[in-house]
Chain A
Amino acid sequence: MVRRVVARATPWLLLVAPLVLLFLFLLLPYLLTFYYSVTGATIGHLSNVPLVGSANFQAVLTSRNPPFPGVLFVTAAFTVGTLVGSLVLGTVLALALYTVPAGRRSALLAVYLIPWVIAGVVIGYTWKLMYDPEIGLANTLLEAVGVSPVSWLSDRATSIAALVVANVWAGYGIVLLVISAALANVPPNLILAGQVDGAPVARIVRRIILPAIRPAVLLAALVALVGGLNTFDLIYAMTKGGPLYQTETMALEMYRLTALKGSIGQGAAVTVILFTISLLLAVIYVVLWRREARKWT
């Protein structure tokens, strides 16, 4: 009897510690964020805070400094740019590595993964130097081909693109890793059959390899999307969301409101909005995933 109780209880006892940790460090902060979003909490006043209803959301959505649609646009542009850039660069590099003999492939893969393991802040400051209008590599290269220097990080037209390039460089590694792993599982017979039939490389890639690695591409896209949506350190190091909020993403807006202005309530409201957007993206992802899964079965 005792033995049976112990046997039944053991899995739950083993789960208690991780569940408590999960609650304390994941679920509780989520719940607190939702709670704070409807309160007038500030950094100096976090307990017994008054409920303010939707006032924080109204303040965020109607803010003029910066206008919320602008923040949303910058977040979307940066995320989409990061997603597309990382996916294209990571996939192309993975396909290129696929043509290299296995021994050299591992060494090259390790080299290409270096940016991915470097801290975002370091990458941010490095790229900031590259974009420096006077001494930066970017303008030096432009001048070498007779093009006038560009104010990469202060010009509205180029600042988001400049950040995207830096973030793609920082984040393509994970896409490369996922796609490389998937490519290793593509049956060589299929490719051989295509080659025997005289199909050109582009067609083999398009018709055989890419369809075979679609689930991996979907996974890599998810990771790149999340990476883009959540990027904070790199943007903070390069522009701090400026000038004039033109590179202010929702992650930076949350930080600015919470940590710099001390408005925990408004910062939490931005977080809830971002949460909602993430949830919508998650639903879209699940729909796509299930559609893909049906094909496997």
Chain B
Amino acid sequence: MNKRLMALLSVVTIVGSACNATAPASQAPASQPAATTGASQPAASAEAVKLVVWPRNYTLTQDPPFQPVTKTWEAAHPGVTVELSGAPYDPQFQRIELSQAGQISDVPDIVQLDNIWLGQFTEEKILANLDSYYASWAGKTDILPAYADSTKWNGSQQAVWFYSDIRLLIWNKDVFKKAGLDPEKGPATWDDVMADAQAIKEKVPGVVPVGFPAASQEGTVDRWYPYLYMTGSNILSPDNKTAVFNDAGGQKAVQFYVDLVNRGYASKDLLTQEADAVSASVFSGKYGMMLATVGSGLSDRPEGMTAEQFKATIGAIVPPICAGCQQATVAGGWMLGITEKSTHKDLAWDYIMAVTDGAQMVPFEDQFTRVPVRQTGLADPSKFATDPYFGESAKAAAVAHFPPFIAKYTGMIEFIWTGIQKAVNGDLSTKDALDEAANSVNTLLATP
């Protein structure tokens, strides 16, 4: 009997452990950060109203952008309270999806969304159409045209820009000094990158001249897109139905990475490195330079590093361009949207207007080197004294591109980064790697 019992327990142990280890994804959402909803009560009601806002977690640990304005706004709206519930990146996406699916009972009125989620959230009817609000919003003309267009889906406004980040090339000034290069002058062209990398390789042993993220993550494609766009290429065709990143421009952009590796200026170890890790390595002097996100440039500086020390350590410039190419970069960032399920849409819009107001956002943008999405912000560099490279960010904002806002974007980028990885690793030629990736993307786009 005991033996049988032990055998039975063993079976349960093996099978149960296997399932427990792999099954929780379908259960995990239940443990996402929770927020109680008050969205079921109409705004006009005399009863207390709770506006549920789901921002990113880090925005709640600092005063701007939410804390001071929320108190002021609540004071101006008696009977209305704002409940702020933060979450990290992936859980933020998951909880919004799960709320829409009804798998968690919490229903937010306002969500903070990465700009790459806009298409998916709109197609899934998570986000409410904001055209009627935009129609009477005087401040809309202040939003930079490229940014204003990027909150649209099928011609309709679906969100309001919150804050942005932009890709610039950053370099370590100490490494440049040791290599005999001008520490105040970054490479303006791809040829300059190669020349500077050669100097670093020759004169600064132990330092990898160039870094770029090449791990299996969104940052890999995000940092590659500027090189793609500057060749005149694009990710998808204008109707967003076919991949075009495998054209001559796309191949040129990937070949740039391959050449860096083949010449010994970059290491295949980058295949395991995410953008933040590469950025940290430029700060520490392990890498000489990289295309980084400004917004995670100064704000991600090591603990205790002042803005002055940052300026003394790191240089930043608009992305270097190839011969015959046009200046281009990629912007990303965060928007605020009102959920279709919200029963307090007017209040939600009012709150969004208060939070995203240009004057209210400036201290946040200055402190965390975010790029203003408003023309009045960009026009007044004196308010952004903390960011020594505000001028470069402003230049970059004028040539910023955004990835396509389609529901399948988050699914298709895995094929693109895999293509880049295969080319960098030498598994396939640049053309074959991108063609394979494009075929996979086209198959995905064609799937209903």
Q: Does B61 contact A (CB under 8 A)?
A: no
Interface hits, B1-59 → A, CB 8 Å: 3, 6-7, 10-11, 13-29
Query: Residues of B within 8 Å of A, CB-based: how many?
Result: 55
B422 touches A244 (CB 8 A): yes
- Complex CA gap A259/B93 in Å reads 10
Please give me the residue from chain A that is nearest to B14 by CB atom.
A282
Contact A47/B102 with A29-B19, A243-B272, A286-B10 known, Cβ cut-off 8 Å:
yes
Interface majority SS on B: helix, strand, loop or mixed? helix
Add 20 more A-B contacts to A32-B26, A278-B18, A282-B11 (CB < 8 A).
A26-B16, A29-B26, A65-B414, A134-B206, A232-B21, A239-B272, A240-B215, A242-B216, A242-B271, A243-B272, A251-B22, A254-B25, A255-B25, A258-B25, A259-B25, A275-B18, A282-B14, A283-B11, A285-B11, A286-B10
- Complex CA gap A222/B270 in Å reads 37
Query: How far, in Å, is B362 (CB) from chain A's closest CB?
Result: 35
Measured CB to CB, the residues of B under 8 A from A are 3, 6-7, 10-11, 13-29, 90, 94, 97-98, 100-103, 124, 126, 206, 208, 214-217, 267-272, 286, 410-411, 414-415, 418, 421-422, 425, 427, 440
Contact of A226 among B18, B216, B410 (CB under 8 A): B18
A262 touches B97 (CB 8 A): yes
Contact of B414 among A155, A254, A261 (CB under 8 A): A261
Interface hits, A250-297 → B, CB 8 Å: 250-251, 254-255, 258-262, 264, 267-268, 270-271, 274-275, 277-279, 281-283, 285-286, 289-290, 293
Q: Does A11 contact B (CB under 8 A)?
A: no
- Complex CA gap A151/B268 in Å reads 8
Q: Does A126 contact B (CB under 8 A)?
A: no
Query: Residues of A within 8 Å of B, CB-based: how many?
Result: 61
Interface majority SS on A: helix, strand, loop or mixed? helix
Please give me the residue from chain A that is nearest to B29 by CB atom.
A43
Please give me the residue from chain A that is nearest to B126 by CB atom.
A44
Q: Does A127 contact B (CB under 8 A)?
A: no
A281 touches B271 (CB 8 A): no
Query: How far, in Å, is A127 (CB) from chain B's closest CB?
Result: 13
Query: How far, in Å, is B409 (CB) from chain A's closest CB?
Result: 12
- Complex CA gap A135/B286 in Å reads 9
- Complex CA gap A226/B103 in Å reads 31
Contact of A258 among B17, B26, B100, B124 (CB under 8 A): B26
Interface hits, A174-196 → B, CB 8 Å: none
Measured CB to CB, the residues of A under 8 A from B are 26, 29-30, 32-33, 36, 43-47, 64-65, 133-135, 151, 153-155, 222, 225-226, 229-232, 239-245, 250-251, 254-255, 258-262, 264, 267-268, 270-271, 274-275, 277-279, 281-283, 285-286, 289-290, 293
Contact A281/B19 with A154-B269, A267-B26 known, Cβ cut-off 8 Å:
no
Task: List chain B residues, Cβ under 8 A from A289.
Answer: 3, 6-7, 10
Please give me the residue from chain A that is nearest to B287 by CB atom.
A134
B22 touches A271 (CB 8 A): yes
Contact A286/B7 with A242-B216, A267-B25 known, Cβ cut-off 8 Å:
yes
Contact of A29 among B27, B100, B216, B269 (CB under 8 A): B27
Task: List chain A residues, Cβ under 8 A from B269.
Answer: 133, 151, 153-154
Task: List chain A residues, Cβ under 8 A from B28.
Answer: 259
- Complex CA gap A250/B21 in Å reads 10
Task: List chain A residues, Cβ under 8 A from B10.
Answer: 222, 282, 285-286, 289
List 9 interface pairs A-B (beta carbons < 8 Å), by A numbering: A29-B26, A133-B267, A222-B13, A241-B216, A243-B425, A244-B421, A254-B25, A278-B17, A285-B10
Please give me the residue from chain A that is nearest to B10 by CB atom.
A285
- Complex CA gap A252/B97 in Å reads 21
Task: List chain A residues, Cβ under 8 A from B415.
Answer: 65
